Amino acid sequence: MIETLGVIGGGQLGRMLTLVAKRMGYRVIVLDPQEHSPCGQVADEQIVAAYDDRAAIEELGHRSEIVTYEFENIDIGSVEHLERCGHRVTPSSGVLRITQDRLLEKTFVRGCGIATTEFAAISSALDAEAAAARTGLPAIVKTIRGGYDGKGQWRVDSVEAVRRAFEEARGAPLILEREVDFACELSVIAARGGDGVIVAFPVAENAHDNGILARTIAPARIEPNLAVRAQEMASAIGRGLGIVGTYCVELFLTRGGELLVNEIAPRPHNSGHFTIDTTPCSQYEQHVRAICSLPLSPPRMFCGGVMMNILGDGNGNHLAGTEALLADPTIVLHVYGKRHAVARRKMGHFTMLVDGPIDDAVLALASCALGKLSWR
């Protein structure tokens, strides 16, 4: 019987996961190097330790019946170690191995018969020319591992720029990806149970600002047949990975109407926050259900949603303007409990609940609502 969940990573995704797990009656222990982490504030206990601290990871394994993680840039050695010691980790190290590595991930997606942008590995400055010839330019150089929120990425439009990016990356393994001229960015949040059942939420439409998610619209404003195709692609990827838990597949819709998979996150995702306030069973609850072998819930939206991320701007740590924001009854505010609102740090989000079509007027209202907030 599962009573206690162990969560590696104490950020906002872990916090929202924990809030649901607590509602469902579980105990939660989180492991994170930072004391009073967003997740640690709401969990039963926090083990304060580095992700590669084997003794601490073992303690987490001993004290919980199942271990999960809230972001994928954790030490895979620790996850493998837990598995070798007989602890249950979900998603497994096999899933983590693929999704931690952009090259393995894109190769895997292609192996599922699903399109990605053109890509090539760069392991030395000498590879630059051949890689650029293979992908075409302009392109994006990305670190194969460890990048998130647009970190570890360089847009390049010449072989010389690829070489410069290689030097700047100081030996980190790199991938070159053809820049996609996209009409919009999409994501599919799905969950797969241990029995192989997969549920997929309505497709979300995402706008990024310099690599960081700024806004999600759900459902996406795309043709129904494309939405079904995107959900089918996400299901095929979940099946191929054999993942157990919630996951996210990010895609580009090209101007030519083609769907290309960009990346997979083996965990709940920022672009799935809308599911908390617009559906009866959020991406977090689906994750808890999947890892605890409970039935998944076929997604159903009560209404549409526009999710706006609230980022720090470096001007203070106190969020001002919430009174004005919450005067609008369609807005649900989520604040993550982070002490320092460093520039571009994700500090919270809100979801605007929308009955009816999400048109430019609705999006203008959402932007205006965000504009009411500031850091003091």
Interaction site with ligand AMP (CB under 6 A):
117, 140, 147, 150, 177, 179-180, 185, 208, 211, 250, 262-263
**Closest to ligand AMP by CB, 45 or 179:** 179
Question: What tokens does 189 get?
Answer: 């949040």
Residue closer to ligand AMP by CB (options 33, 211) is 211
What values do phi and psi take at 315, rounded to 5? -100, 5
Contact present, 313 and 321 (Cβ < 8 Å): no
Contact status, residue 338 vs residue 317, Cβ threshold 8 Å: no
Q: How far is the CB of 344 from ligand AMP (least distance, A)?
A: 13
Going by C-alpha positions, the residue among 213, 161, 233 that lies closest to residue 12 is 213
Of residues 253 and 306, the one with the C-beta less far from ligand AMP = 253
Tokens of 12: 């906002």
Residue 139: CA atoms inside 13 Å, Cβ hemisphere, count? 29
Closest CA to 334 of 289, 255, 272, 253: 272
Q: What is the closest distance, in whole angstroms, from the C-beta atom of residue 138 to ligand AMP in the complex? A: 9
Which residue intervals of the chain are DSSP H helices?
12-23, 54-63, 76-84, 93-99, 102-111, 127-135, 159-168, 224-241, 274-278, 283-291, 322-326, 360-371
Q: Which is nearer to ligand AMP, 147 or 173 (CB)?
A: 147
CB of 188 to ligand AMP, least distance (A): 14
Nearer to ligand AMP, 262 or 278 (CB): 262
In the complex, least distance from residue 227 CB atom to ligand AMP, rounded to whole angstroms: 19
What amino acid occupies position 60? L
Task: Tell me how far, at minimum, the Cβ of 342 lies from ligand AMP, in Å.
Answer: 19
Q: How far is the CB of 263 from ligand AMP (least distance, A)?
A: 5
Cα 143 to Cα 146: distance, rounded to the nearest angstrom? 7
Give min distance, CB of 151 to ligand AMP, in A: 8
Minimum CB distance to ligand AMP, residue 282 (Å) = 22
Among 338, 340, 331, smallest CA distance to 370 is for 331
Residue nearest to ligand AMP as judged by C-beta position: 180
Give the torsion through C-alpha atoms of 130, 135, 137, 142, to 10 deg.
-90
Query: In this structure, what token pair is assigned to residue 361?
Result: 């007027």
Q: How far is the CB of 152 from ligand AMP (least distance, A)?
A: 8
Tell me whether residue 357 is exposed, middle or buried, using C-beta atoms within 10 angstroms of its C-beta: 0 to 12, 13 to 18, 19 or more. exposed
Compare residues 12 and 117 and give the one whose CB is closer to ligand AMP. 117
Between 26 and 252, name the residue whose CB sits nearer to ligand AMP.
252
174-178, strands of its sheet edge to edge? 119-122, 174-178, 139-143, 153-156
23/255 with CB nearer ligand AMP: 255
Q: Which is nearer to ligand AMP, 74 or 176 (CB)?
A: 176
